Amino acid sequence: MLRHTHISRRVAAVAVSLVLAGGAAACGPEGDGGARSGDKPGGGAAGQPQRGGTLNVLNNEPQSDFDPARLYTSGGGNVPSLVFRTLTTRNREDGAAGAKVVPDLATDTGKANADATEWTYTLKDGLAYEDGSPITTADIKYGIERSFAAELSGGAPYLRDWLVGGDTYQGPYKDGGKGLDSIVVPDAKTIVFKLRKPEGEFPFVATQTQFAPVPKAKDTGVTYEEHPVSSGPYKVVKNEGDGEHLVLERNGNWDPRTDEERKAYPDRIDVRSGLDAAVINQRLSTSSGPDAAAITTDTNLGPAELAQIGSDKNLAARVGTGHFGYINYLAFNPKVAPFDNPKVRQAISYAINRTSVINAAGGSALAEPATTFLPEREAFGHSAYDHFPAGRTGDPVKAKQLLAEAGFKDGLTITLTHSTAQNRQTSPEVATAVQQALAAAGITVKLEGLETNAFNERRWDVKNTPGFFLSRWGADWPSGGPFLAPIFDGRQIVTNGSNYNHAQLDDPAVNAEIDEIAKLTDLTAAGKRWGALDKKVGEQALDVPLFHPVYKRLVGKDVKGVVISDWTGVLDISQVSVK
C-alpha cells in the first residue's frame, strides 16, 4: 500500500485480504489523531510505566506463521515487532507523530540516489541476536531473499514488484542458493537495494518483517517459525498450536541503547488466541487475576459494550481510541448501466444519508463520516473536499433533479451487492441504510447479499464486477499512494485475477501523476499531491465515500503506558507496562 507506480496484483490482493480479515490491515486497525486526552488509558502520573511482570494478550485470531518471511506486518504495534527488528520502523508515539517512519536497525531511514531507484542503509553498532552473535547486512539480505520462497509465502510482496529481478526470483532454496543481485552487501554494515522504478517511500517498505535479519546457519525453512532467532527485546520460548499460545521472554542480548522505539517493560508476554470476542472484552472489563494485566491486539468493542462502558467512569478510562488508514465506500462499475451515466452516480452521491449509514455501522463512536477517499489524517495527504454536498442526511431533492436530467424523472431500480457477514462495514445493516436513503430520492434498491468469499470474488472479478456494491480499502502505512494507486491506476486493472480498480479507470493523466509522485522522497510534498489527486478523481463520482472506522479497545486495570498512533490505530504493545 504505498505510492508506487505499478503495485503488483499480488500486493493489492494481500493488502485487501488483511484488511478484510479483522478490520485491520497489515498494520492495523493496525491510526485518530491518536489517543487524545480522555481517549487514552494509562496516562497521567498514576500511569507511569514500570519494569517487570507478565503482560497477558487475549486475542481472537492466532498469531500464526510466526516467521518474518510469512508475516504480513509493517512493524506496527503488535506482537511480531517485539521479536523482529527491521531496517526502519514506525515512530512509537501518539497521534500524527506516530505516523512517521524512523530508523530501527539502520542508522537512518535510508539514503536515496537522485531518482529514488537505489536506497542505501548502514547498520548501527552493537546489534546482536538472542545468542549474542552479531547482526549483519548479509543476514538482512538473506532474510529478504527467503521471503521469495514459495513455501514461505504470505508476507507483503512489494519487493517482488520493486526489486530488479524480483518478479522472477524463487528464493535461496533453489538454483544452488542463488541470491538477488539487486540486493548488494558491500560489507557487514552496508546494504544497497536496486529498484526497477522510483520508489520515494521505500523507507516505509523497510518496516516490513521481511527486512528482519535471519542468520542463514539457523534457517530451518518452514519450521523456522517454531523458534525464530530474535533480534528484538523478546525471544520465543513457547509456540503451541501454530500461534494459539505464544510465550515471549526477555532477550538478554537486546541492547536498548540501539533501540529508541521499543520500551519492553514486561519480563514476559503471554499471548493466548482463539478466544471469542465477547469473552475477551468481558475478561478485560472484569480484570480479575491475570486479566488485570491484559490487553487485546485484535478485538474491538461493539456498540452494546460501549453503551455499558459509558455508564462506568472507571471502565471508560480504560478505553483507547484510534483510527487506521481505512475507507468504507460505495463503488460504481461504470461499465454497467445505468452507472455509465455520471448524473446517476452524482444523484446517488447526493442521496446518501451518512447519519443512517454511520448508525448502521455502530454509531458515531465507531465510524466517522467521509466525503473524501483519503482518510482525514495529514500523513495520508488528506485534502478536504465534498463535490456533492448533501449534509449528514442527504439531499433527495438534488438527487431527483439529477436523475431527471439523466432521463429517469420517474426514478429507477438498481441492485446493491453486499456481504452477508456481520462486520458492520459491508454488512446487511449498512446496505439497508443505503437502500432507505436512496428510496427518498425515488431510487428503488434491490439488495443482493453474498457470503464473504462469494462477495469478494464478485467485486474483484473485472468481468463480473457488480454495477453497485459496498466496498472498503486499507493500507499498510500512512500515505495517499496505497489508497489511490491500487484503486485508480489504470495499469493495475487485472483481467485474469483480483482487480481492485472497480471503476476500471485508465486515465493517462492520473497514471502520469502517480508516476511523478512516486519519485518524491519529500513526503510532505508528496502528501499534498496525493490530496490534490484524490480531489481530482473524486469529481468523477466513481465512488461514494461513506465513513472511516474508529477503533475502541479496552485494557486491563493494571495496564499502563498506552500509546496509539495514526499508523496503526491500536495500542502499541512495545510501550505497555503492567502494575
HEC string of 276-329 equals CHHHHHHHHHHCCHHHHHEECCCCCCCHHHHHHHHCCHHHHCCEEEECCCEEEE
Q: Name the nearest CA neighbour of 334 among 488, 547, 558.
A: 488
Radius of gyration of the chain (CA): 24
Per residue in 556-570, pLDDT (tens digit) is 999 999 899 888 888
Res. 421 pLDDT band, cuts 50 70 90: confident
Coil, helix or strand for 22? helix
* Alpha carbons 256 and 264: distance in angstroms, whole number: 9
For residue 369 the three cell numbers come to: 463520516
User: Does 113 have pLDDT greater than 50?
Assistant: yes
In the structure, what pLDDT confidence band is assigned to residue 475 with cuts at 50, 70 and 90?
confident
* Residue spans of alpha helices (H) in 395-549: 396-405, 428-439, 452-460, 481-488, 508-518, 523-538
Every domain of the chain with CATH number 3.10.105.10 lies at 326-549
Q: Has residue 36 got a pLDDT over 60? A: no
Q: Are strands 577-578 and 443-450 parallel, antiparallel or unpaired?
A: unpaired
Sign, Cα dihedral of 301, 306, 308, 309: positive
- Nearest by Cα to 134 from 68, 195, 217: 217
What percent of the chain shows pLDDT beyond 90? 78
Coil, helix or strand at residue 444 = strand
Buried/exposed 361-372: b ≥16 CB within 10 Å, e otherwise: bbeebbbbbbbb
What is the total residue count of the chain? 579
Locate cell 492520473: which residue? 510
| Range 341-356 average pLDDT | 98
Lowest mean pLDDT among 41-45, 318-322, 560-564: 41-45
Q: So what's the pLDDT on residue 310?
A: 85
Share of the chain above pLDDT 70, in %: 91
Give the CA distances from residue 167 to residues 164, 195, 281, in Å, rounded to whole numbers and listed in that order. Answer: 8, 12, 44
pLDDT score recorded for residue 340:
98
Lowest mean pLDDT among 59-68, 79-88, 281-290, 507-516: 59-68
- For residues 130-156, average pLDDT: 95
Q: What is residue 96's DSSP assignment? A: G
8 A C-beta contact, residue 574 and residue 264: yes
Collect all residues with Cβ–Cβ distance below 8 Å to 510 and sequence separation of at least 6: 488, 489, 490, 533, 536, 537
**pLDDT interval class at 153 (50, 70, 90):** confident
Determine contact, residues 548/478, Cβ cutoff 8 Å. no
- Residue 64's CB is within 10 A of a number of other CB atoms, namely 17
What pLDDT shows up at residue 426?
65
- Confidence band (pLDDT; 50, 70, 90) for 3? very low
Sequence-distant (6+) residues with CB within 8 A of 251 are 130, 230, 232, 233, 234, 235
pLDDT confidence of residue 220: 97
Residue 474 has pLDDT above 50, yes or no: yes
Residue 179: predicted pLDDT = 95
Lowest mean pLDDT among 151-160, 422-431, 514-523: 422-431
Provide the pLDDT confidence category of residue 28 given band limits of 50, 70 and 90.
very low
C-alpha cell of 189? Answer: 554494515
Task: Tell me the mean pLDDT in the region 352-379.
Answer: 94
Say if domain 326-549 classifies as CATH 3.10.105.10.
yes
Greater confidence (94 vs 29) lies with 94
> pLDDT (tens digit, 9 = 90+) per residue, 237-282?
999 998 999 999 999 999 999 999 999 999 999 999 999 999 999 9
**What is the signed CA dihedral for 188, 194, 199, 205, rounded to 10 degrees?**
-40
Question: CATH class for domain 65-267?
Answer: alpha beta
Q: Where in the chain is the domain with CATH 3.40.190.10?
A: 65-267
- pLDDT band per the 50, 70, 90 thresholds, residue 40: low
What burial letters (b/e) apply to 397-418, b meaning 16+ CB within 10 Å? ebbbbbbeebebeeebebebbb
- DSSP output for 33-52: -SS-TTT-TT-SGGG-----
Q: How far apart are CA 479 and CA 482, in angstroms?
A: 6
Task: Enter the DSSP assignment of 124.
Answer: P
Whole-Å CA distances, 453 to 38, 485, 497, 500: 39, 24, 14, 15
**Cα gap 333→502, rounded to integer Å:** 6
The span from the CA of 19 to the CA of 298, in Å, is 12
- How many whole angstroms separate alpha carbon 112 and alpha carbon 14? 27
